Amino acid sequence: MNTSTIRFGFPIFSLLCALFAFNTAFAGSIKIDRVDPPNWWVGMPGDSVTLLIHGEGVGAAAVSLKHDGVSIRNRTTTENPNYLLLTLNVAPKAAAGEVELRFKNGRDKGKFNYPIQKRSKLVPKALGLDQSDLVYLIMPDRFANGNPDNDIINGSQETVINRDSMFYRHGGDLAGIVSKLDYLQDLGVTALWLNPVLANDQPKESYHGYAATDHYRTDPRICTTEEYKAFVVECHRRGMKVVMDVVHNHVGDRHWWYQDLIAEDWIHRFPEYTRTNFRATTLIDPYASAADKNLMSDGWFDHHMPDLNQKNPWLATYFIQNNLWWVEYAGIDAYRIDTYAYPDKVFMSKWNKAMKSAYPNITLFGETWVHGQAIQAWFTEGNGLDPDLNNELSGVTDFQIYYAINDAMEKEEDWTGGVSKIYYALVKDYLYKDPTRNVIFLDNHDLSRFYSMAQEDIGKFKMGVGLLMTLRGIPQLYYGTEILMKNYADPDGKVREDFPGGWSTDTLNKFTEAGRTAPENEAFNYVRTLAKWRAANPAITQGKTMQFVPKEGVYTFFRYTDNRAVMVIVNGNKTKKKVDTSRYAERLKGFSKAIDPLTGNPVTDYSALTVPAKTTLILDLMP
């Protein structure tokens, strides 16, 4: 599929921009230069929308309108006279069209035509994720460059392309990702999680996307907003889903409403720059000091990332509406919430509830980079760990499974370590309402590459991938893991290198079999085979889990339904191990044959199996 394919359909965002230009050009002496959200829909939950209106002195203006089914509920100002918060009632049967907002302050007048649209019932949206999915995480700037014309956008804070530096932009974009959708589908990927695509107009290191400067526009160096919507449509056409990465904890200091700060209490202030202590433990520690708790939640991530105060009700409303808008506008299927442990917990509970109320099938999973199952589970819904608050979050990025897999790969078994660490991680699944909603992974954009963590040992690599593809939860693969991309996160830019072949000037193209080395093809084929096998296996996609206490460095678990089962034997030893499977009789009962999913060959006798060192052996059991 070429890049032009994603530029289809009625250009609604262009229409909105044209309306905005019309409004600005023909307004009277009161000039409105920004309204968020840029439009709304009839029939949205709550029957209201709060407009954040920006214009010089607009806070002093009275507002009126006449439109069938739309009325003004509330008008609020802040200490900044350039803002007005206007809440509109939008009745369930309100007339779709342009709502003419009229502004008046003495003799000064102005108007703005605000679009209220009908909701589309035909476009699929918020499909959600489940265990049948394989999520592929991509940093757009580093994956593929499909449109060199958008590499540099005049007027941007950062206008340098330098692929030799880990700190500058490299030019990757959404068009490049679209051009590789066939590759991704062939690999077995069913869902794409892109690092943030929102505008990130920061003067340096803007490539990663985690310092947003506009919440209603995509970064033009990645794509237009229309192209992003068309990308979701194309993914849905292919049977793929899209995960949007969002940040509620902070923004970039060049954000448009931080540059002309709407209100002092939209951010957390300190006498001098104060960094968070990164200690999520303070949130649940019964002995924690108030000072430590406040520093955790209110401290800044970096000098250029103002920390947001979600306790401000208008800021909370702004983010809830923004995320509802992106689902309704673009049709995304899931949200990954960055730095989930840091924003106000009451706000996050309210946000989760609002998303699930509007879109019951949507998947919401938060980044919880913490140590300890209880701390991680505390953030999820229905766990009963916080009597005062239901956090409402569907699932988390499961760092405890990540730690356990690495421990099993590198260490010999002891009472709690080595392969036993996986066993103990799953033992604590009772803390979750539904642990299958957790996203499990081997690496990501902040962590050392898995192949490096495996000491570039293809056997250990396969051991980890085998666990990723069979353990409970939703597996996530980081771009390039399948071709043995390597490096350590010191700094993290080293694990965000370009995918070879994503640029027309690349001398190697590892998107093709011919461009990969023999070990890279071995790894790619291993990942692809297991990915496609698991997607079609109900024992994995719908099954329960049963595990057996590790013994002599060997850990065994089953994924199973009433008539299908998968037996997974993990040998964490440095030598091969003969495994007597009679102790697994309660799960083997009723199954007469086994097939190796990697070769398709039958295993005629699995009463005793010899498992090589540092290996995950997978057998598909059948009646």
Domain end: 536, 554, 575, which one? 536
Which residue segment(s) compose the domain that 106 sits in?
3-118
Within-domain flag for 456: yes
- Give the percent of the chain with pLDDT over 90: 90
- Same domain (yes/no): 531, 600: no
- Same domain (yes/no): 77, 163: no
141-160 pLDDT, tens digit per residue, is 999 999 999 999 999 999 99
pLDDT at residue 43 in the model: 95
Judge whether 173 and 145 are in contact, CB under 8 Å. yes
pLDDT at residue 387 in the model: 82
- Same domain (yes/no): 199, 95: no
Q: With a cut of 90, say whether residue 79 has pLDDT above it.
A: yes
For 410, the enclosing helix (H) or strand (E) is: helix 399-410
Domain with 575 in it: what CATH number?
2.60.40.1180
Q: How many CB atoms lie within 10 A of CB 2?
A: 9
Judge whether 141 and 207 are in contact, CB under 8 Å. yes
Helix (H, G, I), strand (E, B) or coil at 460: helix
Q: With a cut of 60, say whether residue 421 has pLDDT above it.
A: yes
Domain with 110 in it: what CATH number?
2.60.40.10
Question: What is the amino acid identity at position 75?
Answer: R
- Same domain (yes/no): 53, 179: no
Within-domain flag for 580: yes
- Same domain (yes/no): 91, 168: no
- Same domain (yes/no): 148, 97: no
Helix (H, G, I), strand (E, B) or coil at 574: coil
Per-residue pLDDT band at 592 (split at 50, 70, 90): confident
* Identified catalytic residue from 36, 226, 367, 407: 367
5-24 pLDDT, tens digit per residue, is 333 334 555 555 555 555 55
C-alpha 389/C-alpha 387 separation (Å) is: 6
Closest listed residue to residue 193, CA positions, set 120, 245, 268: 245
Within-domain flag for 267: no
Within-domain flag for 99: yes
Within-domain flag for 275: no
- Same domain (yes/no): 228, 367: yes
Q: With a cut of 80, say whether residue 27 has pLDDT above it.
A: no
Domain end: 536, 565, 590, which one? 536
- Same domain (yes/no): 57, 107: yes
Compute the average pLDDT of residues 507-525.
98
For 136, the enclosing helix (H) or strand (E) is: strand 135-138
Mean pLDDT, the chain, as a whole number? 94
Within-domain flag for 268: no
pLDDT at residue 611 in the model: 97
- Same domain (yes/no): 520, 572: no
Domain end: 486, 512, 536, which one? 536
Helices and strands, counts by H and E, the chain:
16, 26
Domain with 196 in it: what CATH number?
3.20.20.80
* Residue carrying structure tokens 């000072």: 291
343-397 pLDDT, tens digit per residue, is 999 999 999 999 999 999 999 999 999 999 999 999 999 988 888 888 899 999 9
* Identified catalytic residue from 214, 333, 338, 392: 338
215-233 pLDDT, tens digit per residue, is 999 999 999 999 999 999 9
pLDDT at residue 8 in the model: 34
572-581 pLDDT, tens digit per residue, is 999 999 999 9
Compute the average pLDDT of residues 127-142.
98
- Same domain (yes/no): 155, 221: yes
Name the token pair of 112.
């703005």
Within-domain flag for 291: no
pLDDT at residue 273 in the model: 96
Q: In sequence order, which residues have a C-beta less than 8 Å from that of residue 494 and are 6 or more positions away? A: 166, 487, 488
Number of domain units in the chain: 3
Residue 175: exposed, middle, or buried by beta-carbon count in 10 A (0-12, 13-18, 19+)?
buried
- Same domain (yes/no): 532, 551: no
Within-domain flag for 80: yes
Judge whether 484 and 451 are in contact, CB under 8 Å. yes
Residue 338 appears among annotated catalytic residues? yes
Question: What is the amino acid identity at position 139?
Answer: M
- Same domain (yes/no): 101, 154: no
Compute the average pLDDT of residues 88-116.
97
As a three-state string, the secondary structure of 482-540 is HHCCCCCCCCHHHHCCCCCCCCCCCCCCCCCCCCCCHHHHHHHHHHHHHHHHHHCCHHH
